[in-house]
Amino acid sequence: MSKQNNTFERVLVGVDDSADAQLAFRYAMHRCIKDNSTLIITSILESGDMNVYQALTRDYVHGERKDLEEHMQEYRKVALDAGVQKVELMIGEGDPGETIVKDIIPAAKADLLVIGSLSKKGIRKYFGSQAAYMAKYSPISIMIIR
């Protein structure tokens, strides 16, 4: 993978419904169109957001995942309609920062991670953001959009 002219071949973008994540998604799309790169869209099912009853109910988790998968297909359609040639989707489960750094990046073989600076939900944002974690531990270049 050559990095001439700052082009990246596989751009991974983390999405949730926060305004910052939407900006990150738009930036990643435009970057992929310009560089003819593959766009990999990821979202993480946060188990910490479920209460005990929900976590024990397989149907709830399955329903949440199905909703997320449908939502991800909407992102894919937007990217393809905008002119991105190659779009891949990846869903992880767990803590977003750790899951993206430890599981998604290696599996996606991404060479650039694009994320928003704020996460919309979860108590973790009060203890230092997911973005800070990913910036510190990401094995690849990272762009944080605000």
> What pTM was estimated for this model as a whole?
0.85
Low-confidence ranges of the chain (pLDDT < 70): 1-5, 47-58, 60-61, 119-128
What radius of gyration, in Å, describes the C-alpha atoms of the chain? Answer: 15
Beta bridge partners of 2: none
pLDDT of residue 126: 44
pLDDT of residue 119: 55
94 φψ region: left (φ > 0), alpha (ψ -120 to 50), beta (else): left
Q: Find all residues with CB under 8 Å of 46, minimum gap 6, and list them.
A: 94, 95, 96, 121, 122
Closest of 104, 115, 106, 103 to residue 142, by C-alpha: 115
CATH of 20-122+133-145, one of 1.10.630.10, 3.30.1360.120, 3.40.630.30, 3.40.50.620: 3.40.50.620
